[in-house]
Amino acid sequence: MTHTESMQRTRIKFCGFTRQDDIDTAVALGVDALGFVMWSKSSRSVGIEQLAALAAKVPAFVSRVGLFVDPSAKWVEACLPHLDLLQFHGDETPEFCASFDRPWIKALRMRDTIDLAFEAERYAQSQALLLDAYRPGTPGGTGESFDWSRIPATLAKPVILAGGLTPENVSQAVHQVRPYAVDVSGGIEASRGCKDASRMASFVRQVASADAR
């Protein structure tokens, strides 16, 4: 059964926050989860002090998600007090992902050879699988989409659809895939790391209208 058949709305995660004003806007729009890039090679990354300051002002019942790419255990542990959920974007093993005292999701890049049923079994302890576009050498945040018809109608884990989503295409994406959640970064930005309030609002409206279809 898809989540829509069970009458659940599509959850929304916005990723790559660096500014308090953008977080305030997203929270006011009712966004479910806010992502912080804890990978220093990203132009959207925040340091631990910035994470602490931003995360402290996120109200209850909005998830603070930390995004990691092949981190050390020490780095994840340092970030843990400010996070509700961990998102792993590299080649982390299931054992590594499960070794922290937080729920977690695994991002999978949709390379041609990927076997999603196998990955769902492999990452069985994850809360969900985030499916993202594959670009060699770039672990995420590419702003590129992939062919959504490659996602099986049923999968053992909830699907978070990511990769190149925008206010312009998210309604079609939700209608076609019926994911548990959608995740966006570049599609709601004015510039790298800076969100655009009107694009954030438009994205949320488009998801709601797709849910109502």
Ligand X SMILES: O=C(O)c1ccccc1NCC(=O)[C@H](O)[C@H](O)COP(=O)(O)O
Establish if 143 lies at the interface with ligand X (CB under 6 A). yes
- The contact mask relative to ligand X for 182-211 (x = CB under 6 A, - = no) is -xxxxx------------------------
Q: Which of 161, 201, 164 is nearest to 181 (CA)?
A: 161
Burial pattern 17-40, b for ≥16 Cβ within 10 A else e, equals bbeeebbebbeeeebbbbbbbbbe
Q: How far is it, in rounded angstroms, from Cα 34 to Cα 98?
A: 21
Out of 39, 123, 134, 203, the only residue in the binding site for ligand X (CB under 6 A) is 39
Q: How far is it, in rounded angstroms, from Cα 12 to Cα 167?
A: 12
Establish if 132 lies at the interface with ligand X (CB under 6 A). yes
Where in the sequence numbering do the catalytic residues fall?
15, 132
Establish if 162 lies at the interface with ligand X (CB under 6 A). yes
Task: Please report the sign of the dihedral spanned by the C-alpha atoms of residue 15, residue 21, residue 23, residue 25.
Answer: negative
Round to the nearest angstrom and report the end-to-end CA distance of the chain. 17
Establish if 142 lies at the interface with ligand X (CB under 6 A). yes
Q: How many residues does the chain have?
A: 213
Establish if 65 lies at the interface with ligand X (CB under 6 A). no
Out of 71, 140, 167, 179, the only residue in the binding site for ligand X (CB under 6 A) is 140
Q: How many residues bind ligand X (CB under 6 A)?
A: 24
Q: How far is it, in rounded angstroms, from Cα 59 to Cα 24?
A: 10
Encode 136-201 in three state secondary structure: CCECCCCCCCCCHHHCCCCCCCCEEECCCCCCCCHHHHHHHHCCCEEEECHHHEEECCEECHHHHH
Out of 23, 33, 37, 177, the only residue in the binding site for ligand X (CB under 6 A) is 37
Establish if 15 lies at the interface with ligand X (CB under 6 A). yes
Residues 93-122 contacting ligand X, CB under 6 A: none
Establish if 69 lies at the interface with ligand X (CB under 6 A). yes
- 178 or 203: CB nearest ligand X: 203
Least Cβ distance, residue 7 to ligand X (angstroms) = 26
Least Cβ distance, residue 107 to ligand X (angstroms) = 6
3-state secondary structure of 28: helix
- The stretch among 54-62, 146-154, 163-171, 200-208 that binds ligand X (CB under 6 A) is 163-171
For ligand X, the binding residues (CB under 6 A) are: 15-16, 37, 39, 42, 44, 67, 69, 89, 132, 139-143, 162-165, 183-187
